[in-house]
A = this chain, B = another copy of it.
């Protein structure tokens, strides 16, 4: 069993895709000789050449749009939007083109396009560079939105995404690249799309998160366990399609649920989770489903303010405690 970083996991599945499938090419800003803003594609140009590692102009719309076109014409592009913040400049191509062409064409064209991008706060990069828009994309029919939080989920989910024929937003987290985890032991390990991971099992409360917040929830569960509170920890892993079954079943068992989300609270994706839980497990709930989320502000640069704006392990533990103890 070997331990790898999240960054290595991303690199490895990209290399695998390039090695296995001639139709795969990468395209994005500074992914060439620079090696990618997060050093994921270092050495790729040397190995695969410029044909397959396309350092693109700084132009998000055409990066995605050209990916859509190439996918329509039979290739399987993996494009990179340097961070999800810049994805707003490509949102029209993602939402009005990638997500809709199949349906609008009466099913004639599929768009097997993977859009990799990077979400998250906590890197002290200020309001315009610290956002988490994956929940917005998860509201768009036609898209698949995946948010791996561990190296093995990166690998397992990416492989599953490659088997899809529709556009995927593959959302990595800026603070996770350096984190470590076990590499999957099986060579063809897959994580199914739309299957949540129950990270930990407990009877008192359900903690649910995705991306880095799944890890935060798990750490909070560790603290709570020392106090005798046993939490189910659910990592959604995929936002669309959503594994509400696992989530709802957990809540039916624990009767209490706390959703942990990094983006600002109002209108975040956690609202969807709360809604589905109370729709499907209403009679099981002993307390309202609670949410811990980012502060309702543009992300401040100043370090202590930023730390206060992001859900912390302690804040999650405190909210869980309150939910279980009723105070």
Residues of A within 8 A of B (CB): 85-86, 88-89, 91-92, 95-96, 99-100, 103-104, 126-128, 135-136, 138-142, 240, 242, 263-264, 266-275, 278-280, 282, 285, 287-291, 296-298, 300
B266→A298 contact, CB < 8 A: no
Q: Most B CB atoms within 10 A — which of A136, A263, A266, A274?
A: A266
Residues of B within 8 A of A264 (CB): 139-141
A144 CB to nearest chain B CB (Å)? 12
Contacts of A288 in B (CB 8 A): 278-280, 282
Query: How far, in whole Å, are A300 and B189 apart by their CA atoms in the complex?
Result: 38
Contact A287 B282 (CB under 8 A): yes
What chain B residues lie within 8 Å of A91 (beta carbons)? Answer: 88, 91
In the bound complex, do residue B85 and residue A96 qualify as a contact, i.e. CB atoms below 8 Å apart? yes
Bound CA–CA A2/B274 (angstroms): 44
Alpha-carbon gap, A126 to B278, bound state (A): 33
Contacting pair B88 A92 (CB below 8 A) = yes
Name A266's contact: one of B86, B242, B267 (CB within 8 Å): B242
Closest approach, in angstroms, between the C-beta of A69 and any C-beta of chain B?
Answer: 16
A279 in contact with B271 given A103-B298, A240-B266 (CB within 8 Å): no
CB distance from A107 to the nearest CB of B (A): 12
In the bound complex, CA of A287 to CA of B280 (Å): 11
Let me know if A296 and B95 touch, CB within 8 A: no
Q: Which residue of B lies closest to A296 (CB)?
A: B141
Interface hub of A86, A140, A300 (most chain B Cβ within 10 A): A140
**With a CB–CB cut-off of 8 A, which chain B residues contact A269?**
267, 271
List of B residues within 8 angstroms of A126 by Cβ: 104
A267:B278 contact, CB within 8 angstroms: no
